[in-house]
């Protein structure tokens, strides 16, 4: 359904499912990991995620004991995160998708930690804690 890649192109991915919902997380950990006010993710089953090339460029970082953040070791592009207790689910960073994404924001999470300089202007559900 979609292809995806890191900034340098060393990692090439395929997502074999439709992506219709994007979840926005405003927690401070996501702000630091993305270098921005939030992260935009889509929940994808691991079986629908395929590495076409570049597996050797994958790096992992554990900011918390139960969740790994996967990135390109060459260009540092964030790719996805995965909880160890949910091995069949990945949280794909939708910014790495190559094709236009026809998806809607499902919700905003951790809004109590949002960057003070960023204003949420849409009417999608907002939650002070996690939702996905």
Residue 101 forms part of a structural domain: yes
47-75: average pLDDT: 97
34-39: average pLDDT: 96
Q: Which range of residues forms the domain containing residue 39?
A: 2-113
Residue 77 forms part of a structural domain: yes
Residue 47 forms part of a structural domain: yes
What pLDDT, on the 0 to 100 scale, is given for residue 72?
98
Residue 23 forms part of a structural domain: yes
Residue 61 forms part of a structural domain: yes
What pLDDT, on the 0 to 100 scale, is given for residue 131?
61
Residue 57 forms part of a structural domain: yes
Residue 22 forms part of a structural domain: yes
Residue 31 forms part of a structural domain: yes
Residue 132 predicted with pLDDT over 60: no
42-50: average pLDDT: 98
DSSP per position, the chain: -EEEE-SSSS-EEEE-S---EEEEE--HHHHHHHTSS-EEEEEEEGGGEEEEE-GGGEEEEEEETTEEEEEETTT--EEEEEETT-TTEEEEEGGGB-S----EEEEEE-GGG--TT----S-S-B-SS---
pLDDT tens digits, 52-65: 999 999 999 998 99
Query: What pTM did the predictor assign?
Result: 0.91
CATH of the domain at 64: 2.170.150.70
Q: Say how many domains are in the chain.
A: 1
């Amino acid at each position: 359904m979609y292809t995806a890649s890191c900034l340098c192109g060393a990692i090439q991915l395929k997502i074999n499912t439709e992506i219709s919902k994007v979840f926005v997380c405003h927690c401070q950990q996501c702000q630091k990991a993305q270098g921005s006010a939030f992260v935009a993710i889509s929940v994808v089953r691991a079986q629908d995620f395929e590495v076409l090339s570049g597996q050797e460029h994958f790096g992992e970082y554990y900011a918390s004991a139960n969740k790994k953040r996967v990135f390109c070791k060459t260009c540092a592009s964030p790719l996805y995160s995965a909880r160890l207790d949910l091995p069949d689910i990945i949280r794909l960073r939708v910014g790495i998708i190559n094709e236009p994404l026809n998806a809607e924001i499902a919700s905003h999470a951790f809004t109590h930690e949002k960057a003070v300089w960023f204003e949420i202007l849409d009417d999608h559900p907002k939650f002070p804690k996690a939702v996905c």
